Structure 1
Amino acid sequence: MIQALSGDVEFVQAIVHSGFNGFIHSIFNKTVNIKCRKTGDLYTLASNSLDNGPNSIVININSFADSHLELTNNVFTNNNSLYIEDKIAISMNDIKKWECLLPSYPVNDTQLRKNLIIIKNQIEEFGKCGGMKRNLHTKNPFQIEMELMLQERAHSFLCSLVNNNVADALRHATRLIGLGPGLTPSGDDFLTGLMATFHLPNCPCLSFQSFNKNVVTSAQSLTNDISYMTLKMASAGKVRESIVTLLHLALTGEEEHLISALQEVLKIGSSSGTDIALGIVSGLEVNLIRKAQGHWS
């Protein structure tokens, strides 16, 4: 029996109270993704080195490399525990429940403006190239073209947003989905960070939440299951704990804690953390522009 350490409150409730039935969708060293038979949504078992996230439970295991799990293995619940065939049993007793609660957008945005400068400087120095951040030293023509496409499409997308041209913004956002390297492509990661900023309570971009839903509708056929699920969660304001912490400190935090939180996000994936952070920066800047345009009270 393996102990569940912490987890998304809705996933825990589904296991404990509602019954959960699914099968293994994908297996990695640090995570196992489970597809729910009822909804088709993905849920994640994460190793103890990872942070909390939506539809995720962190369990007391270092790695799944030697777990002998296989794709399509059945996953079910019984007696307050989650089972994968007869291979793993995970106890929900004493689990710490986690809920994604985004911070409120501040009335005074002076600290936010200062922090955005810090974040951009840190990304410029420490962010990973190859996705939304261009690698100026590469001579690979495919990579050069991919990075240019990402930047040009992101620029057109953001221009449409600040001009309140939602139809054009959706068209440009759709052209970002599935674009770029990685299990979760760079364009998807950028949109994940950006869409989360439209769910900050009291923010100037609250009216774009319907835009988020339309992006997800477009995304299902344009990217892989794992990236689609990440976008779907972000479109509803649900992101990983490390991203929530970064958003909180970006809005009101001091430099030392802000840099530490940013470093944690930059560690995500290969370039995913950098792409997400750049999406957060862009989303917060759109919020600032919308406020200046009078879309906030």
Structure 2
Amino acid sequence: MSKEKYEIIKFNASTYDKHFIRHFNENKNGEKIGEIHSIYSRTINFLDKKKSMYTIGSKNIDNSPFTLRIDSEDINFEDLNLKEGNLLFKVDNNLVIDNKVEINISPKSLLWNPALYGRKDLDKGIITNNIDYFNNLILSNGSYGGCKYFYLKNYLKEKNHKPTLIEKELARRIEILLDTLNYKVIDKDKINSLIGFGVGLTPSGDDFLTGFLSTFNIISTDYTTKIKEKLTDLIDINKISTTDVSKQMLLITLKGEAREYVLNFINSFLDGNKDRFLFSFKNLLNIGSSSGTDLAIGVVTAFNLSINNFNMEEWKL
């Protein structure tokens, strides 16, 4: 996009979530609402005065907590001559970034309000069939470099892929975590060894835990509730050593929320519609280089664990 320096680039807000619009509305006209933390091709992240992170994204990313999406799909935010530390202001119904970018939030902008509730209508047969369907799909889909090796090794007994040292270590740490759950002893150090491990903006260990915990936020059984509560208690968000973006992702998960593609994939697992399952699976895999694959494997690992303990009415940690 070629623009003169003096010309303000204008967009309209397409969707936003409750956290983003609440923060925008709480600020007075002309007041600073944040400072740019990081800029990527499809997203801009900014921090408010409390250091909470918010995201402005292009229309071709999915909805997410603390996020506003603009009405343009072909925008590259890295081309807008913005820098880390640039300030964002509220000017009437507009979000203005460094007097270079203006985003209008109008009545036509839509509130993304996901249905977040625990589902107890669990059909073991449907879940088992979808696990089998996923197992067939993951063989030829998804990215290596993260959790895929762990899943192929432990659930499909595949040995054709030669793993890197990072893949081997990641698999070992996930296996230790699952072993502690199977023996009903959850070790804080074993959980935290996953956090921040791996490469990328959101390390693979964080993506796995996000998918894993997000599933337990949705499916509601005695077993899953106890695991979720214990895991949540043991993860100290303020002491996590990982990227700022990944910390925000985990914080959202611990609050019981998730991005749109993760929610859709989890809910499709509970239904018998194969087209919907495949659509949500492909959408999820499009996140990042390996993040979508790692998220998906976290989700399916949680379903595998739940199926193996499906009839447990009482489960003591």
Instruction: Give the paired residue count.
Output: 290
| TM-score (norm: length of structure 1) | 0.90
Say whether the 8 Å CA contact 1:197–1:284 is kept in structure 2: yes
State the distance in 2 between where 1:220 and 1:75 align.
28
Task: State the match for 1:15 in structure 2.
Answer: 24
List alignment gaps of at least 5 residues for structure 1. none
Say whether the 8 Å CA contact 2:14–2:68 is kept in structure 1: yes
State the distance in 2 between where 1:137 and 1:291 align.
32
Cα distance, 1:215 vs. partner? 4.9
Overall identity of the aligned pairs, in %: 29
User: Aligned in 2, Cα 1:220/1:31: closer, same or farther, shift over 3 Å?
Assistant: farther
In structure 2, the residue corresponding to 1:51 is in which secondary structure? Answer: coil
Q: In the alignment, does 2:101 pair up with 1:110?
A: no
Task: State the match for 2:71 in structure 1.
Answer: 60
| TM-score (norm: length of structure 2) | 0.84
State the distance in 2 between where 1:57 and 1:253 align.
32
1:78-125 CA-partner distances (Å, limit 9, x unpaired): 322222121112111121101233462424322011111111221222
Task: State the match for 2:271 in structure 1.
Answer: 252
Structure 2 counterpart of 1:75, from 69, 88, 97:
88
Say whether the 8 Å CA contact 1:54–1:100 is kept in structure 2: no
Question: Residue 97 of structure 1 aligns to which amino acid in structure 2?
Answer: L
State the distance in 2 between where 1:65 and 1:208 align.
41
Q: In the alignment, does 2:185 pair up with 1:165?
A: yes
Q: In the alignment, does 2:175 pair up with 1:155?
A: yes
List alignment gaps of at least 5 residues for structure 2. 1-9, 153-158
Question: Residue 256 of structure 1 aligns to which amino acid in structure 2?
Answer: D
User: Aligned in 2, Cα 1:98/1:216: closer, same or farther, shift over 3 Å?
Assistant: farther
Structure (1 or 2) with the larger CA radius of gyration? 2
State the distance in 2 between where 1:102 and 1:129 align.
31
1:169-197 CA-partner distances (Å, limit 9, x unpaired): x3212111111121111111000100101
Structure 2 counterpart of 1:183, from 183, 197, 201:
201
Say whether the 8 Å CA contact 2:57–2:68 is kept in structure 1: yes
Cα distance, 1:59 vs. partner? 0.6
State the distance in 1 between where 2:140 and 2:250 align.
27
Question: Residue 276 of structure 1 aligns to which amino acid in structure 2?
Answer: L
Task: State the match for 1:42 in structure 2.
Answer: 53
Question: Residue 81 of structure 1 aligns to which amino acid in structure 2?
Answer: N
Question: Residue 83 of structure 2 aligns to which amino acid in structure 1?
Answer: E
Say whether the 8 Å CA contact 2:40–2:78 is kept in structure 1: yes
Match runs of 1:182-261 below 5 Å:
182-200=200-218, 202-203=220-221, 204-217=223-236, 220-261=239-280
State the distance in 2 between where 1:132 and 1:27 align.
26
Structure 2 counterpart of 1:25, from 34, 37, 61:
37
In structure 1, the residue corresponding to 2:64 is in which secondary structure? Answer: coil
In structure 2, the residue corresponding to 1:44 is in which secondary structure? Answer: strand
Cα distance, 1:201 vs. partner? 5.3
Match runs of 1:67-146 below 5 Å:
67-93=80-106, 94-102=108-116, 104-134=119-149, 144-146=164-166
Question: Residue 300 of structure 2 aligns to which amino acid in structure 1?
Answer: V
Question: Residue 33 of structure 1 aligns to which amino acid in structure 2?
Answer: N
State the distance in 1 between where 2:23 and 2:123 align.
40
Q: Pairwise CA RMSD of aligned residues? A: 2.2
Name which of structure 1's ranges 25-34 and 221-230 shifts more when overlaid on structure 2. 221-230
